[in-house]
C-alpha cells in the first residue's frame, strides 16, 4: 500500500517536472526577447533590464532553467510586471474563488448525478428512467454560457422585477467577510456548473450500476435476504462508483485550473478569468503561474482518485 503510494507520488512529481520543462521551453526559449515579453508591451528599457537581471537571462539556458525550477519549488512563480505585484499575489486572490466554485458545484453535481443515475438503474426503461435520461441529455448538450445567461435572466432579472432579491447576478464576496452573502453570490454559478456536469455523472452511474446489478455477488446478497436498500447502496453502488470517481478526479483537477466561461458570465475573478485576462494582456508571468497551478491540481487529483478505488471496491488491491 505505502509502496504504491510512494510510486504514485514519484510519478506525479515526474509529470510535474516534465511540465516545468515544457513551460520553460515554451516561454523562455522560444521568444526572441524573453525579458520584453515577460515585462509586457509597455515596459521601459529600465524595466526590461531589471527583468533580465532578476531572471538571469544572460546565463546559459540550463542555468536559467535551474533558477526557474528552484523558484517554482519554493513558491516563487515570478513577478507580474503588468500589475506590479508578485504572481503569487494574483493567484492567491483568484484561487479561493475558483476553489469555492469547483467544490460547491462538485457537491451538487455528485448528489444530483449519482442519485438520478441510481434511480434510472434500479427502474430501467421506466418513466423515471426515461425522464432522467432526457433531462441528462438536455443539460449535457447545453452550452455553459447559455445556461448561465438563462439562470441570470430567470432567477435574478425576473425575480428582481417581482421584488424578490434572493439571487445576485454575479460578483464575489469572500466567505470570511460574509458567509451568507458568499453563498448567495455563488449559488447561481454552482447550479450552472453542476447541472451541466451532473448529466455526465447520471449516465456514468446508470451504466455502471446496470453492470454491477447483474453480478453474481449481488444475486447472492439478495438470495441471503438482505434488504433491497442495503443491496443497492451498500454493495452495488459502492462498486459502481469506480468510474464515477475517475471522472470526478479529472473534472475537479480541470476546474481548479479555472472555469473560464462560467467565471466570465458571472463576473467571478477566478483563475480561469485571470488566465484569459493575462492572455489578452500578454501577461506571461501570470499565464505561467496558472499553468503550473492547474497542472499540479490535475496530478494531485489523479493520485487521490487512485487511492479512493481501494476504499470503494474491496476487490481493488493497491500493490
Give residue 145's domain range.
96-312
- What is the distance between the alpha carbons of residues 270 and 217, in angstroms, rounded to a whole number? 46
Of 42, 76, 110, the domain-final residue: 76
Structural domain contains residue 128: yes
One domain for residues 187 and 268 = yes
- What is the distance between the alpha carbons of residues 133 and 155, in angstroms, rounded to a whole number? 25
Q: What is the pLDDT of residues 281-312, one digit of tens each?
A: 777 788 888 888 888 888 888 888 877 776 66
Q: What is the pLDDT of residues 166-225, one digit of tens each?
A: 887 777 888 888 888 888 888 889 999 999 888 889 988 888 888 888 888 888 888 888
One domain for residues 105 and 13 = no
**227-236 contact pairs (CB < 8 A, 24+):** 232/118, 232/122, 233/118, 236/209, 236/212
Q: Identify the pLDDT of residue 108.
A: 92
Please count the structural domains in the chain.
Answer: 2
Q: Identify the pLDDT of residue 158.
A: 84
- Select the highest-mean-pLDDT range: 30-34, 55-59, 162-166, 187-191: 187-191
Q: Is the pLDDT of residue 318 over 60?
A: no
The gap between the terminal CA atoms of the chain, to the nearest Å, is 6
**Least reliable range by pLDDT among 2-6, 132-136, 278-282, 302-306:** 2-6
Helices marked H in the chain = 2-24, 34-39, 45-55, 61-73, 87-122, 127-140, 144-151, 158-161, 179-213, 216-223, 228-230, 237-256, 260-265, 271-280, 284-312
CB 262 within 8 A of CB 193: yes
Cell of residue 237, nine digits: 453502488
Average pLDDT taken over every residue of the chain? 82
Residue 151: CA count within 13 A, CB half-sphere: 27
One domain for residues 241 and 100 = yes
Q: Is the pLDDT of residue 2 over 80?
A: no
**Least reliable range by pLDDT among 152-156, 250-254, 314-318:** 314-318
User: Would you tell me the crossing angle of helices 179-213 and 87-122 to the nearest 10 degrees?
Assistant: 40
- 86 pairs with which residues across the strands? 79
- Select the highest-mean-pLDDT range: 148-152, 156-160, 166-170: 148-152
Q: Is the pLDDT of residue 317 over 60?
A: no
**Least reliable range by pLDDT among 24-28, 122-126, 263-267, 311-315:** 311-315
Model's pTM, two decimal places? 0.79
Q: What is the CATH number of the domain that holds 249?
A: 1.10.3720.10
Give the DSSP per-residue string, 234-254: IIIHHHHHHHHHHHHHHHHHH
Structural domain contains residue 317: no
Task: State how far the alpha carbon of 4 is from the alpha carbons of 12, 239, 300, 305, 307, in Å.
Answer: 12, 21, 15, 13, 9
One domain for residues 66 and 102 = no
- Sequence-distant (6+) residues with CB within 8 A of 206 are 117, 118, 120, 121, 129, 132, 133
Amino acid at each position: 500500500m505505502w509502496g504504491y503510494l510512494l510510486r504514485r507520488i514519484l510519478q506525479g512529481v515526474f509529470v510535474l517536472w516534465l511540465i516545468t520543462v515544457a513551460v520553460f521551453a515554451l516561454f523562455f526559449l522560444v521568444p526572441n526577447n524573453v525579458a520584453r515579453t515577460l515585462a509586457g508591451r509597455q515596459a521601459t528599457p529600465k524595466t526590461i533590464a531589471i527583468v533580465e537581471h532578476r531572471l538571469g537571462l544572460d546565463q546559459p539556458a540550463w542555468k536559467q532553467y535551474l533558477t526557474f525550477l528552484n523558484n517554482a519549488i519554493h513558491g516563487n512563480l515570478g513577478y507580474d510586471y503588468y500589475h506590479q505585484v508578485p504572481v503569487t499575489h494574483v493567484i492567491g486572490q483568484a484561487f479561493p474563488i475558483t476553489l469555492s466554485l469547483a467544490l460547491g458545484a462538485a457537491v451538487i453535481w455528485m448528489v444530483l448525478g449519482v442519485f438520478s443515475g441510481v434511480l434510472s438503474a434500479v427502474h430501467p426503461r421506466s418513466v423515471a428512467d426515461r425522464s432522467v435520461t432526457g433531462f441528462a441529455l438536455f443539460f449535457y448538450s447545453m452550452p455553459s454560457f447559455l445556461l448561465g445567461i438563462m439562470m441570470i435572466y430567470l432567477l435574478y432579472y425576473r425575480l428582481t422585477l417581482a421584488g424578490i432579491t434572493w439571487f445576485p447576478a454575479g460578483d464575489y464576496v469572500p466567505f470570511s467577510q460574509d458567509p451568507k452573502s458568499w453563498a448567495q453570490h455563488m449559488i447561481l454559478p454552482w447550479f450552472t456548473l453542476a447541472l451541466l456536469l451532473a448529466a455526465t455523472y447520471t449516465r456514468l452511474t446508470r451504466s455502471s450500476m446496470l453492470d454491477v446489478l447483474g453480478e453474481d455477488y449481488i444475486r447472492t446478497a439478495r438470495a441471503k435476504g438482505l434488504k433491497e436498500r442495503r443491496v443497492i447502496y451498500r454493495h452495488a453502488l459502492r462498486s459502481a462508483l469506480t468510474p464515477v470517481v475517475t471522472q470526478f478526479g479529472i473534472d475537479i483537477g480541470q476546474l481548479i485550473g479555472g472555469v473560464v466561461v462560467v467565471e466570465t458570465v458571472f463576473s467571478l475573478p477566478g483563475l480561469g478569468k485571470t488566465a484569459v485576462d493575462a492572455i489578452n494582456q500578454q501577461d506571461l508571468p501570470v499565464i505561467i503561474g496558472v499553468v503550473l497551478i492547474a497542472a499540479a491540481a490535475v496530478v494531485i487529483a489523479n493520485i487521490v482518485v487512485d487511492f479512493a478505488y481501494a476504499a470503494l471496491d474491496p476487490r481493488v488491491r493497491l500493490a
